[in-house]
Structure 1
Amino acid sequence: MTFLRSSITALMGLSLASTAMAAAVIAADPFDGTSRVLDGARRGTGWATAWSDRDQVNGRIVATKASDAPMSGKALRVQGNAATAATRQLRQTVSSNVLISFDIQFDAGRLNTNDLFGLWLGGVAGPTIGLRGNCGTGQGCTDDLFVRTGATGIGSTGVNITLGTTYSILGYLQKVDGSAVYNRFDLWVNPTEEDWTSLTGADITNFGISGVSAFRKIGVRTANLETNDAVLMDNLRIGLADPRPPALSPVAAPTTNPVPEPGTLALLGAALVALTASVRRRQH
């Protein structure tokens, strides 16, 4: 039994190490600092600079309510309009396929056509993921979450968001077909465990030449928000994808008996079969 336990432990360690190498979280911010303006906030990991919000009015870190789950404790609350409502620099430059995830909520006011809250990568005209009311068209469309690879074009998810409801979104930004710049952006809304592990079946995919081959700076852009409108964002994470990983682990409450991922289960099953056969041979 000692041999069996040590072999399984070694296999689990190998599997988890491979997963960690495949998808490394390089930056994260749970926005859990003291309630204050965002400008100068340094919480989180993987950042070279603090958040910059020069006008000091767009972003504040605020307490969340139980009804805001899966947001917990504190979140970023943004009001007003600016192309660079908030910006921050990563510790490292990203040039490979990348995963972006965060929670978002239209917290107050009224979501009108073309109301915009977008997280951009590399520049205001670069790849963007977030919220855009009614596809920005005003023609009966009620799709409110989107991705786009550049300043033009948009991929809307078909999700009509509800005031006060939190949505978890996962984006997968890629260079495909030998492109030197990012040219594909996938988006999942409230991704399942299968979505996280397979990175297939996206709710929407946007193709287009971004003009961005690498980035280090990220930022928040808002537009067309009225005086009483407010958007919440929480649990921001950015991870490298090399080239198609099991993905960042979804944010979830810890469990006392975590369930191994399918890949781990397969390895453990194979190990158990081989070891059982070996023990039987020895006994005979």
Structure 2
Amino acid sequence: MSLTPSLHTSDTSAISAASDASSAVVGRLRAAGCVFAEDEAELLVSAARTPAELSAMVERRADGFPLEHVLGWAEFCGLRIAVGPGVFVPRRRTEFLVHQAMPFVGASSVVLDLCCGSGAVGAALASGADGVELYAADIDPEAVRCARRNVAAVGGRVYEGDLYAPLPPTLRGRVDVLVVNAPYVPTDAIGLLPPEARDHEPRTALDGGADGLDIQRRVSREARQWLAPGGRMLVETSERQAECSVEAVARGGLAPTVVSCDELGATVVIGTRGDA
């Protein structure tokens, strides 16, 4: 007697149909130029609840929509971060910003995530320590709505407005860790970005002005007022722009250091407020 369960005809038909569907999705994505068609097909097939929904999702992806927008989420630091249409998708390199900030975040730390987008950075930091008091802000209403979904589980509060402007005044001088993923693409380089970014993500999350550092400079000018003594600001930048980012942080009265990760192509400037 065989101990191996037998498959009914209906079971084998379902498996065959699923395999055919997956193959068709892979073929459509390859034809659209998706480099990781097999991986994306697996995610789309597992996310779709009906064949019609799968077809619609595949067509959106083939039309150039970011995979994360099609799925409704992005993987970031082991978390599923909700992202909707028109919201900046958190990048893998930004995980380096989280890893650099994490050693400074302890129980009951006050964390501020500026230019928060989906709130991915703040959510990752708050989920890694107990009792974190998390605040976040962004100027884009869609990003704020998305961020509120992502930080709800860790009790974070998200404010809509320009940088520090919407924050409660009682937060001044209390922030232990300020994380900033401000836009740092120079205006003239926006057209060189992949279509997924330039066509489907908000310009305010990409355009950093003539040299890409306009927002960083504004953040740095006021950072010291919001940081607690010994508090730190961590800013994502690029290797090419690091020297100018360091200058902006120093002019804001913080002591700057630079850390980089070749594997992720990531650079972060850390500015520390002294006790004076």
Q: TM-score range by the shorter chain?
A: under 0.3
TM-score by length of 1: 0.25
Give the number of the structure whose residues are more often strand, by fraction: 1
Higher helix share: 2
Taking structure 2 as the reference length, what is the TM-score of the superposition? 0.25
